[in-house]
Amino acid sequence: MIRVGLTGWGDHPDVYSPTSKKTDKLKDYSGHFKLVELDSTFYAIQPERNIRKWISETPDGFGFIVKAYQGMTGHHRGRLPYESEEEMFRLFRLSVGPMLEAGKLPMILAQYPPWFDCTKENVGVLRKMREYLDELDVAVEFRHQSWYSEKYREGTLDFLREQRFIHSVCDEPQAGEGSVPFVPEATREDKTLVRLHGRNTAGWKANGRDDKKWREVRYLYDYNDSELKGLAEEITCIASEDVYVVFNNNSGGHAAENAKRFMGIAGIETARPGAQQLDLFGGEDL
């Protein structure tokens, strides 16, 4: 089964009812999609009250792909706000525990930074991640091209299989060593993650911490029907029982519409919005 969702639920105007409050965004979103990537966990380990609130606002069968806290994947700069690495991972596990218990946690997404290249030391980092989150399903996303070089590609995929990591397959611009190719291969029989970042090559190259608006440029892309058809053909051939597809190209507000078109092309049944919502395209009250 292919499950489709977006990155976050707070910035997709097409899926909100005009009569809804800001606090209703997740409820509205879950009427259109059964999956969402939770990004707030990257910036801070979330308190239990937030996690339980989000669980209560979504229907049975809804899933949160929870992004690993930045200190867990080497993004955090400076001193970590925890006494130890062990404490950080322990608190993260406690935080996502209610989602796991509710059956709404298909996976954790461990996205590593562009400077995390294919070295023996970094392989050790991945082994430690697996140990810390042993009871959880973890998807690994690389952002340095060396992991998929001719020399290391098969070794990378075999290592992910050995460690029971879910492979995060990325569609993104090919813009040097800080980008990875589209490699639609499963490393587990049950789950694969596909993240669609768009194909804005110029925007991808413009990425830089000194530019405060780099995110707005990097993910500014509108997939056309031909591109979505090509992706659908590749994704439907991935050898996993469930393939989770997340659209991350929302800088220009294209993610929701692209996801709906992708679902139509791939023949995926769409969620039916609640009575208080408007259909994404029709504009008729339901």
Position 129 scores a pLDDT of 97
pTM assigned to the model: 0.91
Give the other-Cβ count within 10 Å of 54's Cβ.
22
Q: Which domains does the chain have, with CATH numbers?
A: 2-266 (3.20.20.410)
User: Alpha-carbon distance 69 to 41, whole Å?
Assistant: 6
Position 204 scores a pLDDT of 83
3-state helix/strand/coil string of 98-158: HHHHCCCCCEEEEECCCCCCCCHHHHHHHHHHHHHCCCCCEEEECCCHHHHCCCCHHHHHH
Q: Which residues contact 163 (CB under 8 A, 6 or more apart)?
A: 126, 127, 130
In the chain the first and final C-alpha atoms are separated, in Å, by: 27
Q: Which of 57, 71, 59, 72 is nearest to 25 (CA)?
A: 57
Structure tokens belonging to residue 212: 């405060």
Q: Which of 151, 152, 200 is nearest to 179 (CA)?
A: 200
- Averaged over successive runs of 10 residues, the pLDDT of the chain (286 residues) comes to 96 90 93 96 96 97 98 90 94 98 98 96 98 97 97 97 98 92 98 97 69 73 97 97 97 94 91 48 41
Position 286 scores a pLDDT of 34
Give the other-Cβ count within 10 Å of 102's Cβ.
17
User: Alpha-carbon distance 48 to 205, whole Å?
Assistant: 38
Position 79 scores a pLDDT of 85
| Strand, helix or coil for residue 276 | coil
Position 217 scores a pLDDT of 82
Position 277 scores a pLDDT of 43
